[in-house]
Amino acid sequence: MTRKLKVAVVGLGVGRSHILDGYLPNKDRFEVAVLCDRDEARLKACGEEFAIGNLVTEYDALLGMEDIDIIDVCTPPGTHKDLILAALKAGKHVICEKPLVGSLADIDDMLDAESRSTGRVMPIMQYRYKEGVQKARRLIELGIAGKPYLATCETHWHRTSEYYEKPWRGNWEDALGGTLMNHAIHTNDLLFYLLGPVRSLFARIATRVNRIEVEDCASVSVELTCGAIAAVTATTGSIDEVSRIRLCFENVTIESDSRPYCRPGAADWRFTPANDAVAEEIEKALADFTPPPLGFAGQMQDFHRAICNKTPLPVTLADARQSLDFATACYWSAKTYSAVALPIMADHPFYNGWQKAF
Ligand SMILES: NC(=O)c1ccc[n+]([C@@H]2O[C@H](COP(=O)([O-])OP(=O)(O)OC[C@H]3O[C@@H](n4cnc5c(N)ncnc54)[C@H](O)[C@@H]3O)[C@@H](O)[C@H]2O)c1
């Protein structure tokens, strides 16, 4: 059954982009009915911009609103856990920004809460909704790409001290981590989305770019369970900003565009076939390919379909768990100068988080 779902958006920084780029292009699927932010000026400005009259400063007010189907949590990372658990308890569906939470224990609490609720949780991973990503996934799933050999994954962004003027950014407690958790999480998710889970890794982290608590440089050597190996790097000290993933398969080399953010643009991913026969197979496989709506618009559209049809969500808590498993292993590896095997289990010293260890 298809129906219009009513949304409350909480936190109107990136929450405003969810409205603009996610809900407005899907007007027949969603109605943004309520806005919530503790910052009254921001709340009022956003209410005026989108002609939404129901404005609240207190999150708890949303929990009792019976007509609200979805709470979209776009507040700073350190607040997500409590807000998600409260929404699930109230039977609401939740969409939540990255990084979802700060430990595997938190994710496991969330999985437990979701299993007892009528609500479901979708973490935001809008970079999956790029044409090149979906083309690559199709070629891999059809077996055309062949054996995966090696990948590189770069998130090289630029952040100055101004970016860290927001008090939650740059500290372990509120941001939950540094560039690995807050920036590289998107491109790294693409690595797992396209090549599958990580078997082991060795990580180095450093804080060199800004005067902050958390890391702003990271280099990780990764072994994937599919047998391929990968080099993952992240920094906020790159004057020339790049988000790039490169995947070397037996039959094709796949290279993403290098634009740093998930925004429309002309550049596309490059697929270099090993020979003419592979080129032909690729052409055939992609002949009827329809690009998904970009970014938030695509993810929200798939979310709506999954909720209405009671089918699996496009991005799940299990996906967020994979990102957190990776991050937990990176921080432990960096702290102990050791290689780490994944998955991290409940008896691991960082299962409950790493934030107090640095
Ligand atoms: N997916 C992406 O591309 C993307 C981009 C930017 C930010 N983010 C993520 O979105 C989240 C928010 O980031 P931002 O840059 O928008 O931050 P921000 O500081 O600009 O906005 C957060 C807003 O939340 C409000 N807020 C905080 N706690 C609240 C509460 N308990 N109840 C109501 N309002 C509350 C604040 O007043 C503020 O207006 C972070 O997790 C960040 O990592 C994701």
pLDDT digits (tens, 9 = 90+) for 256-314: 999 999 988 766 899 999 999 999 999 999 999 999 999 999 999 999 999 999 999 99
Domain with CATH 3.40.50.720 in the chain: 5-125
8 forms beta bridges with 34, 71
Give 149 Cα–ligand 1 centroid separation in angstroms: 38
In this structure, which residue's CA is closest to atom 16 in ligand 1? 13
The ligand 1 atom at the shortest distance from the C-alpha of residue 296 is: 1
The pLDDT, as a whole number, for residue 266 is: 63
14 lines ligand 1 (CB under 6 A): yes
The pLDDT, as a whole number, for residue 49 is: 98
Domain with CATH 3.30.360.10 in the chain: 127-296
Give 5 Cα–ligand 1 centroid separation in angstroms: 22
Q: Among 74, 179, 323, which is best to mutate for testing ligand 1, by the most ligand atoms less than 8 A from CB?
A: 74
The ligand 1 atom at the shortest distance from the C-alpha of residue 15 is: 16
Give 303 Cα–ligand 1 centroid separation in angstroms: 21
Please, what are the averages of pLDDT over each run of 10 residues along the chain (358 residues)?
92 98 98 98 98 98 98 98 98 98 98 98 97 97 98 98 96 98 98 98 98 98 98 98 97 96 83 98 97 96 97 98 98 98 98 97
Contacts of 105 (CB under 8 A, 6+ apart): 346, 351, 352, 353
In this structure, which residue's CA is closest to atom 24 in ligand 1? 11
Topology, domain 5-125: Rossmann fold (3.40.50)
The superfamily (CATH) of domain 127-296 is Dihydrodipicolinate Reductase; domain 2 (3.30.360.10)
The pLDDT, as a whole number, for residue 104 is: 98
Give 105 Cα–ligand 1 centroid separation in angstroms: 22
Q: Is the peptide bond before 197 cis (omega within 30 degrees of 0)?
A: no
Half-sphere exposure of 206 (CA within 13 A, CB side): 8
* 64-110 confidence digits (pLDDT tens): 999 999 999 999 999 999 999 999 999 999 999 999 999 999 999 99
Residue 175's φ and ψ, nearest 5 degrees, are: -90, -15
182 lines ligand 1 (CB under 6 A): yes
> Are 322 and 310 spatial neighbours (Cβ–Cβ below 8 Å)?
no
The pLDDT, as a whole number, for residue 265 is: 74
Q: Among 17, 18, 34, 37, which is best to mutate for testing ligand 1, by the most ligand atoms less than 8 A from CB?
A: 37
